[in-house]
């Protein structure tokens, strides 16, 4: 029987990067990866089923972000050692992850060289070398964090509309793709604009296009 201390789940919506993390855990550390997930909701479902001791997860994911997953772990499976891997290296993200009970936070660029050290660390909270550097993302870390907090208030139906807005689709085109009425799309757009603070002509569309990567996850 596998030692439960050496079991893990890996959650990241980029298959190639996720595969690299899995390879590092299995081949480099001898850890049994019980399952993989590509979004936050799937991650939680697999945490419930497999009950691993280790989670390695991205911060920006579809359906539920890494912070949401950490909150769920804190309420339901606090014994899991959760490590966040992210392109966001600003200290505000790291502090939030620590507050939510993560065991460590690593920049994605450091994953290959530091994942083993993080998991083997006896410190209460591990941070990788690049943490604290200014994010290379076009959007500042502060605005990324603020938008992430606002996106958590968006319903699944609204998010589907928002994702299609990142493609510059009209309300009619969105309605056709989602098999809903144009009026429903317009209602979702009004709600999204209020929740995301995008008031004014075309402001919601501009926000969707500008922050496409974060919205899509």
**What pLDDT shows up at residue 208?**
84
**What pLDDT shows up at residue 48?**
97
DSSP the chain: ---GGGEEEEE-S-HHHHHHHHHIIIIIH--EEEEEESSHHHHHHHHHHH--SEEEEESS-SSS-HHHHHHHHHHH-TT-EEEEEES---HHHHHHHHHTT-SEEEEGGGHHHHHHHHHH--SSSEE-TTTTSPP-SSS-HHHHHHHHHHHTTS-HHHHHHHHHHTTT--HHHHHHHHT--HHHHHHHHHHHHHHHT--STTHHHHHHHHTHHHHH-
Does pTM top 0.85 for this prediction?
no
**What pLDDT shows up at residue 143?**
66
Tens of pLDDT, residues 50-94 = 999 999 999 888 888 888 899 999 999 999 999 999 887 878 788
**What pLDDT shows up at residue 136?**
47
For residue 55 the two structure tokens come to 């989670």
| CA 205 – CA 189 distance, rounded (Å) | 9
**What pLDDT shows up at residue 216?**
81
Domains of the chain, each with CATH number or no CATH: 4-127 (3.40.50.2300), 153-216 (1.10.10.10)
In angstroms, the Cα distances linking 191 to 157, 185, 215 are 11, 10, 16
**What pLDDT shows up at residue 155?**
93
Instruction: List the chain residues with pLDDT less than 70.
Output: 1-5, 133-143, 201-202, 217
For residue 183 the two structure tokens come to 């009026």
| CA 145 – CA 33 distance, rounded (Å) | 30
| CA 22 – CA 10 distance, rounded (Å) | 7
Tens of pLDDT, residues 33-50 = 999 999 999 999 999 999
Residue with tokens 């690299």: 20
């Amino acid at each position: 029987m596998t030692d439960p201390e050496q079991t893990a789940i890996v959650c990241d919506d980029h298959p190639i990067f996720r595969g690299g993390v899995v390879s590092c855990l299995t081949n480099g550390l001898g850890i049994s990866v019980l399952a993989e997930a590509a979004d936050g909701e799937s991650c939680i479902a697999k945490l419930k089923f497999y009950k691993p001791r280790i989670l390695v997860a991205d911060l920006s994911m579809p359906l539920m972000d890494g912070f949401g997953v950490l909150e769920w772990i804190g309420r339901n499976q606090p014994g899991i050692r959760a490590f966040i891997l992210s392109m966001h290296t600003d200290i505000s993200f790291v502090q939030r992850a620590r507050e939510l009970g993560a065991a460590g936070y690593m920049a994605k660029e450091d994953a290959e060289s530091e994942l083993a050290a993080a998991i083997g660390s006896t410190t209460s909270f591990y941070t990788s070398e690049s943490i604290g550097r200014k994010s290379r993302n076009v959007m500042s870390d502060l605005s990324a964090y603020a938008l992430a907090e606002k996106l958590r208030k968006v319903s699944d139906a609204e998010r589907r509309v928002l994702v299609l807005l990142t493609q510059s689709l009209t309300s009619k085109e969105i309605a056709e793709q989602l098999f809903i009425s144009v009026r429903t799309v317009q209602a979702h757009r009004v709600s999204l604009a209020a929740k995301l603070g995008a008031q004014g002509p075309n402001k919601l569309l501009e926000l969707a296009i500008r922050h496409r990567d974060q919205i899509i996850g």
